[in-house]
Structure 1
């Protein structure tokens, strides 16, 4: 997906106010990346396709209501972008203090009162969520174990990552009652693992 295609995708789905906030967010993240490594500098020029649409495509896979918890939000993706297009509670979990401080400032500047930033690891978060996201997670098993206390058996887990191997796919049944894999809209080499009933309490 090119930058023009990504901007067109956003324009087709959201109104001018939302698009404007996404533009403002992109500018803030690009600017802050010159001071701390929010996103890879090589991806700044492709921020709409590589980060914004890559994040927003998750909204179509999530329940329409309920709290959303994003683990390891980093520079704002996917959680901060999701908060711009949803008005339900969004929790951004980011243990690195400088990044968490940026997320708090960005949420305030963008007028997103439904965003809460947790400057800690997910193990210290108490809120329960209907949707849990974690971008480029390494181990699904480790993530589920760390975050199971914030999930219920109906929670939807959205885990964007690279190509899922056949071995890993076969192993998903050990971590969730129901799972499938969606193809990413932005990268032919990327997929989104969708879990339900992932050992939630």
Structure 2
């Protein structure tokens, strides 16, 4: 997906207010990346496709309501971008303090009072979520083991990856075997693993 196609995808789906907030988010991330490595500098030239649309494509796969918890939000993706287009509670989990501070400041600047930043590992978070996302954070098996205490029976897990190997899926624990794989809109070599029925301990 080109940057022009990515901008067109946004314009077709969201109003001018959302577009303006996303443009502000892009400016904030670009500016802050000069001070700390929020995203790889090599991806800034393609930020609309690589980060914005790559994040917002998850919205159509998620339940329409309920809290959303994003693990390892980093520079704001996907969690902060999703918070721009959804007004339900958004929990951003980012253990690196400088990045967490950036997320708090960006949420304030963007006028997103429903964003809650947790400067900790997900194991310390107690919020429950109907949607859990994590963008290429460790192995799927390790991720669901660390975070399933914040999930319920109805929680949908959205896990954007590169190409998912059959070995990784075969290695999932028994409680994480209800899944399917979606193709990413932005990269033919990327996929999204959608898990259901992973909850509790």
TM-score grouping bracket, smaller chain normalisation: over 0.9
Map 1:149-168 → 2, pairs under 5 A: 149-168=149-168
Aligned residue in 2 for 1:106: 106
Q: Distance in 2 between matches of 1:200 and 1:96?
A: 26
Shift of 1:166: 1.9
Aligned residue in 2 for 1:82: 82
Q: Distance in 1 between matches of 2:145 and 2:165?
A: 21
Count of equivalent residues:
201
Aligned residue in 1 for 2:148: 148
Q: Distance in 1 between matches of 2:26 and 2:174?
A: 38
- Find the residue that maps to 1:198 and give its secondary structure: coil
TM-score (norm 2): 0.97
Shift of 1:31: 0.3
**1:24-43 alpha-carbon deviations (Å, 9 max, x no partner):** 00000000000000000000
Q: Distance in 2 between matches of 1:117 and 1:161?
A: 23
Q: Distance in 2 between matches of 1:37 and 1:43?
A: 11
**1:116-161 alpha-carbon deviations (Å, 9 max, x no partner):** 0000000111100000000012211111111011001110000000
For structure 2, the residue ranges without an aligned partner over 5 or more in a row are none
Q: Distance in 2 between matches of 1:143 and 1:51?
A: 21
- Find the residue that maps to 1:148 and give its secondary structure: helix
CA contact (8 A) 1:131 1:157 kept: yes
Aligned residue in 1 for 2:31: 31
Aligned residue in 2 for 1:46: 46
**1:25-76 alpha-carbon deviations (Å, 9 max, x no partner):** 0000000000000000000110000000000000000000000000000000
Aligned residue in 2 for 1:7: 7
Q: Distance in 2 between matches of 1:195 and 1:173?
A: 12
TM-score (norm 1): 0.97
CA contact (8 A) 1:172 1:179 kept: no
Q: Distance in 1 between matches of 2:199 and 2:110?
A: 35
Q: 1:94 to 1:142 in 2, by over 3 A?
A: same
Q: Which moved more, 1:163-172 or 1:133-142?
A: 163-172
Q: Distance in 2 between matches of 1:84 and 1:25?
A: 9
CA contact (8 A) 1:68 1:89 kept: yes
Aligned residue in 2 for 1:73: 73
Aligned residue in 2 for 1:123: 123
CA contact (8 A) 1:141 1:175 kept: no
For structure 1, the residue ranges without an aligned partner over 5 or more in a row are none
